[in-house]
Amino acid sequence: MVTAVAQRLASQRKEIDDTLAAFALSPTQLQEVKAKMRVELERGLKKDSHPTASVKMLPTYVYRTPDGTERGKYLALDLGGTNFRVLVVKIRTGMRNSVRMYNKIYAIPLEIMQGTGEEYNMFTIIILYKLRNNTRLPLGFTFSFPCNQTGIDKGDLVCWTKGFKATECEGYDVVDMLREAIKRRNEFDLDIVAIVNDTVGTMMTCAYEDPKCQIGLIAGTGSNVCYMEEMKNIEFVEGDEGQMCVNTEWGGFGANDNIEDIRTRYDREVDGGSLNPGKQRFEKMTSGMYLGEIVRRILIDLTKHGLLFRGRITERLKTKGIFETKFLSQIESDRLALLQVRSILQHLGLDSTCDDSIIVKEVCGAVSRRAAQLCGAGMAAVVDKIRENRGLDNLEITVGVDGTLYKLHPHFSTILKDTVRELAPNCKVDFILSEDGSGKGAALITAVAQHEQFAWIDKYLYAMRFSDETLRDIMARFRREMENGLGRDTNPTATVKMLPTFVRSIPDGSEKGDFIALDLGGSNFRILRVKVSHEKKQTVQMESQIYETPEDIIHGSGSRLFDHVAECLGDFMEKQKIKDKKLPIGFTFSFPCAHTKLDEAVLLTWTKRFKASGVEGMDVVKLLNKAIKKRGDYDADIMAVVNDTVGTMMTCGFDDQRCEVGIIIGTGTNACYMEELRHIDLVEGDEGRMCINTEWGAFGDDGTLEDIRTEFDREIDRGSPNPGKQLFEKMVSGMYMGELVRLILVKMAKEGLLFEGRITPELLTKGKIETKHVSAIEKSKEGLTKAEEILTRLGVEPSEDDCIAVQHVCAIVSFRSANLIAATLGAILTRLKDNKNTPRLRTTVGIDGSLYKMHPQYARRLHKTVRRLVPESDVRFLLSESGSGKGAAMVTAWASRLTEIMGAENSVLGIFILIGTYYFKL
Ligand code: 0WK
Ligand code: 0WK
Ligand code: BGC
Ligand code: BGC
C-alpha cells in the first residue's frame, strides 16, 4: 500500500518535474540564448538584415544621456505601462538632483485600449485637457510600443503590444495622430517635442543620477531594453560620429523561430490566446502580462493530470488572465506562509491543499525564474556588445530599471543580476531602480531635444543670448555710466544723462486736492482728473480719457503738437465741466528733459515715434502754456512736469512706501530712482534724496555696447527716426522688438532656414511684425496657432516647424530684452544698496509699459534674472495699475503745497509751516 502511494507520489512528482523541467534552462541554454540575442542585435543594426530582424533595433534620435545642463518646465505623458500618467516636470540646473514633478495617474479603460484609434486619441486629449493650463509646456511623450522613428518627434507605430489593439494606428505617426486630433478638437495647443520609448525614458531618468547609466530595462507588463549604441554600427541611420540610443524591442526576439527550442507548449498556448499571436514571443516568456497566464495553463495541465487541486478544474481556473502576475510575486515571497498561498488560491476559487500550494509555488518559481534568466541572458548580450563596441576587456556600466515585475517580484531582480554576472563575467553591471518613472526621463529628453530643436537657432542667434557673466559685465558698465551721468565733469559727455527731476520723495499720504494730469509719450495720450481726498483714509478718484496723437501731429511742428494737446485738454475740461476752474496740472512727458525746477523742463531730444520740430531745446511747459494762452478759453496752471518713470514710481509709492525705483518697459524704456542728493553734483544741496531720471535708453550711444549689438540692431537703428541714439532702447523696447524679429526672419528665410526660403513682399515690409505679435506668439495656449495666423498673413505659408522656430526666435529676442533690462536695473539696485550701506537691500520697483504688461513671459523672466544678478536684495515688483497720471498728480500736490508755502513765506504761519515741512520732508 505504502509503496503504491509512494510510487504514485513519485510518479506524480516526476510528472511535475518533467513539466517544470522545460522551464529550467541550463547554463548552456542560457549561453545559447545570449548568443542568439547577440546575433539578432547585430542583424537589427545591419542595413540589409534590419527589415527582417526579429529584434528591431529601432533608432530613437536620442544622442546622449543627461549632462546636468538640462533645465525648464515640461509636460510628460507616460502611456503603455500599467498606468497612464501625466506629469509636469520642472528641471533646474546646477545641483544634479533638482527635478520637481507633479503627476496624475489615469486608468485606461479596456474599450479604449482595444477601440478605434480616434477613441484612443480622444481619450488622451481629454486627459490633457484636464491639464490645459500647462499645455503650453513642451511635451515629452513616453509611448511604450515599438515605433519606427525618423526624428525625435516622429514615430510610426510598428505594432501594438501588451493589452493594446486600437484600430487605425499601426503604421501611422503617433505624434501626427495626436496633433491632428488636438487640432480637430481645437481647445488647446500642444507642442509635442519628443516621443520616447519607456526604456529610453527610464535610462534617462537613471542617468540623471548615475552618468554610467547607458542602458534602460523595463521588466513590467512588457519587456524591453535600450542602450547607447555607436552611430557607426547603426547602418541604416546617417552619420558615424558619436552614439545614439537604440530601442532593441527585444520582446520580438524569437519571431524567426530561433528560440523554439526553449519555448514550451504553454508559451505557445499563451501566444495563441494573445491579442498578437506569433509576435512578441520573448516578451510572452518574460513579462508581467503573460507570466501569470503561463502559470495558469500549467496549473490547468497539472490539474487535468490530477496532480493538483484533486483534479478539479474550476471555472475560474479556466478563466484567461485570472492568474495575474502579481499573484506570482505574492506566492513566491519568502515572507508568505503556505496558508497565505492557499488564501490567494482560494481567492481564485481554487480549493487547495498544502501540497497544492507547494506545487503552485514551484510552478510560479519555475516560470518567473526562467523569465529572469532569459532577461539576464538578453542583458548579457547587450552589455557584452557595449564592451566590444568600446574595445574593452572589462566594462563597468549601469542599467536603469523599471517595471512592476522587477519592482514587486521577490526574486526576479536577483536572478536577473546573477544571470548577467554569469553570462557576462567581464562586465560589472549595476542596476538602479527608476524611482520617478520614465516621465522624468522623457522631460530630460524633451529638454535636450528642445535644445537640439532650437540648437540651430540658438547657434544662429547666439549673439543674442547672454551668460550671467556677460550680464554682470553689462551691469558694471551701466553702473559706470550712472556715475558718469551724476558727476559734474563727466555729465556733459555722459550718454546716460541721469537727469535731476526735482522730485524729492515719494508720496507720504498727506497729498490732497483736485488735479489734472496729462500723460503724453507712451502708446496713448491720456488726460486724467485726479481727486485726492482724506475722508477716513487717503483716497484717489480718477477719470480719464484717451486722445489720438495722429502721425502728422507728432511728426509736424511743435506748435501744432502743443495746440493739439491744448485742444484735447480743453475738450476734457469741457466734459469735466471745469473749464472755469484753474486746476493744477501735472504733465507726464515721457521724453528726456533737463529740469531746472519742477515746472521747467527742456526737451533734450525726441525719442520713440515723436519728431515734432521746434521743440528740442525748448521748455515744454512754456510751449504748452503758450498754446493754452493762444486758445484763451480756459486757464491752466502747469505745476510739474514728470517723466513717466517718475510718475510710475510715485503712483506705486502711493501704495507702497518702499517704492524708490520707477521703470517703463513699453514703447520706449527708461528708469528713475531715488538718489542721494550729495551724489548729484548738478543740483545744490547734500541733504535728502532726489529722484533721478536715468534715461537708460541712451545707454551705448557712445559705443559701449557695440560688442553685444547685432547686425539686426544696427539695421533697426539705421531705419529709425533717430539713428545713433537710444541704442539700448532699440535693443529692448516694444517699439522695436517686432521689427527685430521681422529682420531675423527675413535673413533666416533668405538662407533657406525658414519657410523653404519663401520671401514675400509682406515679410519684407517694415513694421509688419509688431511687438504685440511677438507677445501673442509666445502666449501660452494659442502661441503656435497665432504664429501660423500671423505668418500666413505675411504669405510665407509656414510649416509647423516654421511656427515653432519663429516662436523660439521671439523667445530669444524678448528674453534678451528682459535680461538686458535686468542688468541695468541690477546696477541701480546695487547703487541703492551701496547708498544705504546695507548688507541686504529691501525695495520696491514700480513698473509700467505695454511690453511688460502684455508679454506673457516677460515679467517672470525679468524678475528671475534680477534675483540671480542681485542676490543680496529683496525686490518687490509692483505693476502700476493706474498709469503715471496718479503719480503726476502726487507730484503736483507736492508742488502746489510748496508754492503755497513759498507764497506764505511772507506770513508768520508760513514760516512755521516751512520749518515743520523741512524737518519732516526734505
Ligand atoms: C513605469 C514607467 C513607464 C513604464 C512602466 C513599465 O514610468 O513608462 O511603461 O514603468 O512598467 P509596468 O507599468 O508595465 O509594469
Ligand atoms: C502707461 C503710463 C505712461 C507711460 C506708458 C508707457 O501711464 O505714462 O508712458 O505706460 O508704456 P507704453 O504705453 O509706451 O507701452
Ligand atoms: C513594447 C516596448 C516597451 C515594453 C515595456 C513592449 O511591449 O513593445 O516598446 O518598451 O513593452 O513597456
Ligand atoms: C524716453 C523716456 C521714457 C521712456 C518710456 C524713452 O524713449 O526717452 O523719457 O521714460 O521712453 O516711455
Ligand closest to Cα of 695 equals 4
* Ligand number, closest to the Cα atom of 885: 2
Which residues lie closer than 8 Å to 881 by C-beta, 6 or more apart? none
Atom 10 of ligand 1: nearest residue by CA position: 403
Identify the active-site residue in 78, 563, 644, 701.
644
Ligand 4 atom, smallest distance to 522 CA: 12
The pLDDT tens digits for 505-543 are 988 888 889 999 999 998 889 999 999 987 777 789 999
Looking at all shown ligands, the one closest to residue 249's CA atom is: 3
pLDDT of residue 95: 47
* Closest residue to atom 15 of ligand 1, CA basis: 220
146 CA to middle of ligand 3, Å? 7
Q: Do 513 and 532 meet the contact criterion of CB atoms below 8 Å apart?
A: yes
155-177 in b/e burial notation, b at 16+ Cβ within 10 A?
A: bbbbbbbbbbbbeebeeebbbeb
Q: What is the dihedral of CA 108, 110, 112, 113, to 10 degrees?
A: 90
Cα 128–Cα 130–Cα 136 angle in degrees, nearest 5: 60
The catalytically annotated residue of 136, 179, 342, 526 is 526
Dist. CA 868 → ligand 2 center (Å) = 27
**213, 203 in Cβ contact below 8 A?**
yes
Beta bridge partners of 673: 661, 692
Which residue among the candidates 287, 590, 720, 814 is catalytic per the annotation? 590
- Measured from CB, residues less than 6 Å from any atom of ligand 3 are 80-81, 144-146, 161-162, 197-199, 218, 220, 222, 224, 249, 251, 283
- Closest residue by CA, ligand 2 atom 11: 849
CA–CA separation, 817 vs 733, rounded Å?
7
**CA nearest ligand 2 atom 7, residue:** 883
Nearest ligand, CA of residue 735? 2
Amino acid 191: pLDDT: 79
CA of 204 to the centre of ligand 3 (A): 16
Is residue 471 within 8 Å of 869, Cβ to Cβ? yes
- Active site annotation includes 514: no
Q: Any catalytic annotation for residue 526? A: yes
| pLDDT tens sequence across 424-467 | 999 999 999 998 888 899 998 888 887 666 677 877 888 998 98
Tell me the best of 643, 699, 730 to mutate to test the pocket of ligand 4, counting ligand atoms within 8 Å of each CB and taking the most. Answer: 643
Residues with pLDDT less than 70, the chain: 1-2, 93-97, 127-136, 451-454, 781, 904-922
| Ramachandran sector of residue 319 (left: φ over 0; alpha: ψ -120 to 50; beta: rest) | beta
Between the CA of 880 and the centroid of ligand 2 the distance, in Å, is: 10
Question: Would you say the CB of residue 668 lies under 6 angstroms from ligand 4?
Answer: yes
Tell me the pLDDT tens digit for each residue of 256-299.
999 999 999 999 999 999 999 999 999 999 999 999 999 999 99
CA nearest 447: which of 91, 743, 737, 107? Answer: 91
Q: 3-state SS string over 687-736?
A: CCEEEEECCHHHCCCCCCCCCCCCHHHHHHHHCCCCCCCCHHHHHHCHHH
pTM of the entire predicted model = 0.65
**C-beta 521 within 6 A of ligand 4:** yes
251, 259 in Cβ contact below 8 A?
Answer: no
How far does the centroid of ligand 1 lie from the alpha carbon of residue 580, in Å? 79
pLDDT score, position 919: 46
By alpha-carbon position, which residue is closest to atom 12 of ligand 3? 222
C-alpha cell at position 260: 523554439
What's the CA-to-centroid distance between 522 and ligand 2, angstroms? 4
Q: Which atom of ligand 2 is nearest to the CA of 885?
A: 7
CA of 883 to the centre of ligand 2 (A): 7
**Among all ligands shown, which has an atom nearest to the Cα of 199?**
3
- Distance from residue 218's CA to the centre of ligand 1 (Å): 7
Residue 258 CB contacts under 8 Å (≥ 6 apart), including other chains:
36, 39, 40, 54
Active site residue 590: yes
